[in-house]
Amino acid sequence: MLIVHVEGFLEVARLGSVSRAAEVLYVTQPTLTARLHSLEREMGARLFVRARQGMRLTEAGRAFLPHAERAVRALREGRQAIRDVGSGSSGQLLLAAAPAVSTYVLPEVLERFVRIHPRVEIAVRTGHSEDVLQMVLREEAHVGLGRALRHADVELQALYEEELVLVVAPNHPFAGGRVVTIADVASQQLIMFDRTSSYYEVTMAAFLSAGVTLPGLMELDNIEAAKKMVEHGLGVALLPGTAVARELAAGTLEPVELTGVAPIRRSIVAMRRRDAGEPAGAVRSFLELLVERTVEGPRS
């Protein structure tokens, strides 16, 4: 059974005439008649009888009519749903993001996205970059956001460089524009976050490569807690720049220039499956907004 057969049936039932229905559907009368006969063969019953006033539904035709109307309506709604998904006006957006990205970058981007696409359903899952990559591979996320991890089935779109910034409380001896060495930092209690993150590893490696030991270390499991400890003067911390942008702007934390050690950076990328094709609809719009945000920088 073809949709054109059902649409032809509905037009003939509405107008009571094959010739007038054929005009509305922009087909010839023989073509429409053939479609009606094909539909009747498929249904195993006559749907019309010819009367003086034109084509009249049989009892079988009257029984079939509401189902035909629902079927055509559902298909038309399906076509519209596909158009909406293609334009990004509806559908789903499934995201996976590393903790720092989901906390300090995504909210601003999604605020803009929701204003433009209020009907799109959004789901965000958080995990370390390795977890994010696996979610993309398993097609549990349209887009993954995290540090650059290579995989043959995933393509990466560079977004921005995330650098760890040495921050202290405003009344700390390092505040006021001082330049310090990694040995100076080692003389302080260092506040670290999330032992399982790559930032923990590279931070410890930086001190190890400089031949510096850390006599004082406070470990926390999240960045927000680490920031609060620094604000209360309990130590110094190397934290992602995006995570401390608001505090630096507000003056509750101060940046300190660290010399004698290479900057500790990570490339943050958008991950998508290679076989997903060109981004379209909600995914394309989200990526465009994400690029705009990373070019403009965070709002304070």
- pLDDT under 70 in the chain at which residues? 1, 80-81, 84-90, 215, 296-300
Per-residue confidence (pLDDT) for residue 243, from 0 to 100 = 93
Domain made up of 162-266: CATH architecture: 3-Layer(aba) Sandwich (3.40)
Per-residue confidence (pLDDT) for residue 210, from 0 to 100 = 81
Per-residue confidence (pLDDT) for residue 300, from 0 to 100 = 47
Per-residue confidence (pLDDT) for residue 299, from 0 to 100 = 55
Q: Is the pTM of the predicted complex or chain greater than 0.75?
A: no
User: Is-same-fold flag (91-160+267-296; 162-266)?
Assistant: yes
* Whether 65 contacts 93, CB under 8 Å: no
Per-residue confidence (pLDDT) for residue 86, from 0 to 100 = 64
User: Can you tell me the distance from the alpha carbon of 162 to that of 77, in angstroms, rounded to the nearest whole number?
Assistant: 44
Residue 195: closest CA among 162, 226, 159: 226
Per-residue confidence (pLDDT) for residue 27, from 0 to 100 = 93
For 180-229, write each residue's pLDDT tens digit: 998 899 889 999 988 888 778 888 888 888 888 776 789 998 899 999 99
User: Can you tell me the distance from the alpha carbon of 139 to that of 248, in angstroms, rounded to the nearest whole number?
Assistant: 38
Per-residue confidence (pLDDT) for residue 225, from 0 to 100 = 94
Residue 32: closest CA among 65, 72, 40, 123: 40
User: Can you tell me the distance from the alpha carbon of 221 to that of 195, in angstroms, rounded to the nearest whole number?
Assistant: 7
Domain ranges (residues) in the chain:
3-87, 91-160+267-296, 162-266
Domain made up of 91-160+267-296: CATH architecture: 3-Layer(aba) Sandwich (3.40)
Domain 3-87: CATH class, spelled out? mainly alpha
Per-residue confidence (pLDDT) for residue 5, from 0 to 100 = 92
